[in-house]
Each structure stands twice: as C-alpha cells, then as structure tokens.
Amino acid sequence: LTEDERLDEMFRRALAESRHPPEPPLDEMWAQVERRAFDHAPVRSVMFARTSLWATPALAAAALVLGVALGRYVIPRVDNTSIKVSQVATSTSDAAEPVHHETVAGTSDTASAVPSVIAATTQTPDAGKPDSRQRSRTSSARLAARFEDLGGGTETSRYLAQTGALLASLPSGHTVVESDTAIAVRAEELLTQTHLLLDSQAGSDPTLHRLLEDLELVLAQVARLRTPRNGSDLQLIHQALAVRDVIPRVHDASVEASIND
Amino acid sequence: VSEAHLITRVLAGDRLAGRELYDMHAPRVFRLAYRMTRDEEMARECTQDTFVRAFARLSKFRREAALATWLHRIAVSTVLEAQRSMRRRAARFADLDEVKDRVVEGTEHDFELIARLEQAVEELPEIYRTALILHDLEGYTHAEIADVLSIPEGTSKTRVSQARAKLRESLVTLRD
C-alpha cells in the first residue's frame, strides 16, 4: 500500500467510527410514515392527480371572475325582476303587460334569457311589498342553480380537494404564528365557495351539507389569521378540526366527489 | 412474497404491504441518512420523508431499476435538500466535545483526528462528500453511485478520488 492508500484507509475507518449510526427507531418512524402516506393518501392522490387544476390558474381566475360577476350583477337583477314580476302578478287587470324575461349577468342574448314566470308563480299575494328574506332566498337559490349549470359538480370536487389541502397545510398550534395572509385569503375564497355550495344542489345532500356547515365555521376562523396571533387560535382551529373529524370527512367527500365526476 | 407483489399491494392501499417494504429498506435508508447528516433526528426525519415520498410516487416507479436503488436515490435527494434548506452544516462542524461524547471508549483513533477529519468532510463540496460517503462508508459500488446520483460511473470514480485527495490535503499536518 502506498502512503496515500494507508491514509485513505485510516480516514475511512475513523469516519466509519465517527458516523456509526444508532439503532433506527423503526416503529416510531413507521407511525409517522403510515399517518402521512396512508391516512391522507386519497386526499393527496386527488391533489396530485389533479395537477392540471393547479397548473391552470386561469381556471381559478375564471372562477373568481364568475363569482364576482354573479355576485355583482345577478343578485340585484334577480331582485329587481322579482319585484317587477310581483307587480305584474298582483296587477291581474293589466293583462297587456308583456312577460318579463330576466337576463343573466346583464347579457342581451335572448337565447340565454330565462323566463321569469317561475318567479312570478312563487310570489305570495302580498309580494308587492316583497319580503327581503324571501327575496334573498330566491336569489340565492337561483345563484346556486346557475353555479351548478356552470359545472358545480366539478366545482364540488375541486373545492373539497383544495379545502383539504388548505386544512392539511395549516401550521401546528404549538408555535407563535406570524400573520399568514396567503392562508387567510385562500380561506376567504373557499368560504365564498362554501356558501355557494351550501345553496346549491350539492348542498342538499345531508352528509355534505353538515360537512359544509362545519367547514364554513372552520374556514371563517382560518380567515381571521390575517392578523398576527399566538398559537392558541390555531390550537382552537385544530381542536375544532379534530372534534368534528373534519379532515377525514373532507377526504371521504373528496373521494366520493371525484368518483362521481 | 416478492417485492413486485408488495408494490402492487401498496398501490392498492395495503398498509401491511407498505410496512413490509419499509422493514426491508428502512434500516439501510436510515443508516445512509445518518452517515450523511451525523444527526440522528435529521436522519429520522429524512428517512420518514423518503418513504412518504416513495409511497406517493410508487405508481411512477418503472421497476426497471431495483427498488433499493430507487429508494436510495430519493433518500440522497431528500437528505441533500434538507441539508441545504436547514442550513445546518455550519452548526454541524465537528466539535471536539461532541465527538468525545460519541466515540466509544478504547477507540483506536484519537479525538483530534476524528474532529479534524469530520470538519474536513463537512468542508468538502457536496458532490464530493456525497460520493465519498456512499462509496467509502456505505460500500456502494461506482455503478450503484452512478444510478443513485444519475451520473456516469467514471464521474463517480473521479469524485471519490478527488474527495480523498482533498481530505489528505486538509489533514496534511497530521501526516507529520
């Protein structure tokens, strides 16, 4: 052996001794691996299988624009139309009054116009002074129906996957939390979708409805993380998630929705 | 039960099959992670991350290479990412007291040699250090290192040789 080779061998043996590994805590490590790899596997697989959703921010932007457009234009228009139709309904002597048509989001395309006769038939006799709650409920139902027409089934699946991802990514409640605007903003967006889903056909399913109501509360709490808080707020959120078993239910519903897509 | 059968079962969501695969490979993955990090906690975290990542990507495992090689490729990548992101290297420079704590009584090497050697290893560029540990401590062949690091076999030989030369250069005073 040359001197260099003898040195190399000495170094190798010294390093092997210095870096002699301890016994691996196999069971302890497996508990973590099992929890992370298997307990949330379906949620994870849905998230990654749908990479195209994440890779197409245009979809998210379109959904946001749609939400804003519906919120700003459809609701007031439905309300005005309801009032007009109610007036028509109560004015039976005015038979010459033309039938009103409401148009969605202000479009003048007659092909997309929806006859408002249905709205007229749902009005009470004293609808000339429309009850605001009734009007709101009608508007909300129409909005939800419109939401479903525009692909609400797929939206449910996407919403659940994204909500599951957000909740799974919440930091633990053991440390002081800096202001996390990104999470809070995302929670607000998902909260809006929760409201839409609650009023949609999807929300008529009792199991999903209960889950959406729980998510509504949790997301509202998460949305408040916009300002710096101590760990207790997050601990409360985590407790709420645990007590109501929210994440496994989101996961189950997500799988169910993805199967039904 | 063959490894291929276990993989199929894991893909179907079978946890027991997952545990079997884990038991087959985790000890060596942990040992590799420890050799690379000299930090038990970090080795444990990297081992866990390796298996979580492996199970998540198992459907993409093409079964052309051995599962062990594929796992070790993920492990090396995981450890290197962890080391880079956690910036622990500076804190992991050999400390004589720490070495004393870990070296068993009756060792044939003196503390100063080990401390300086560890420091020299930590100061090696990452590509040399990784190849040296895989080859000299973990006993990988150059062909295996080539698979794990996705480099030509000749490059592996060069890196190990360069790493040894750098260590000798760093510890030249000990030679005297």
Query: Which residue in chain B is spatially nearest to A18 when comparing CA positions?
Result: B103
pLDDT tens, position by position, B26-74: 999 999 999 999 899 999 999 999 999 999 999 888 877 789 999 999 9
- Non-local (6+) Cβ contacts of A237 within 8 A are A170, A173, A218, A221, A222
Give the separation between CA B140 and CA B133, rounded to whole angstroms.
9
Nearest to B52 among A10, A25, A36 (CB): A36
Give the SS3 label for residue A101: strand
Q: Please state, for a pLDDT cut of 90, what percent of chain B lies above it.
A: 63
**pLDDT value at residue B51:** 96
Task: Mutate one of B15, B25, B118 to test the A interface: name it (highest A CB count within 10 A).
Answer: B15
Q: How far is B32 from chain A (nearest CA, A)?
A: 9
Query: Which residue in chain B is spatially nearest to A22 when comparing CA positions?
Result: B40
Give one DSSP letter per residue of B23-38, joined into a string. HHHHHHHHHHHHHHH-
pTM over 0.90: no
Q: Are B115 and B144 in contact (CB under 8 A)?
A: no
Q: Are A69 and A129 in contact (CB under 8 A)?
A: no
- Segment B14-22 shows an average pLDDT of 94
Q: Please state, for a pLDDT cut of 70, what percent of chain B lies above it.
A: 84
CB contact B52 to A (< 8 Å): yes
Nearest to A29 among B48, B133, B175 (CB): B48
C-alpha angle with apex B140: B19 to B106, nearest 5 degrees? 90
pLDDT tens, position by position, A67-91: 666 555 545 444 444 434 344 444 4
CB contact B110 to A (< 8 Å): no
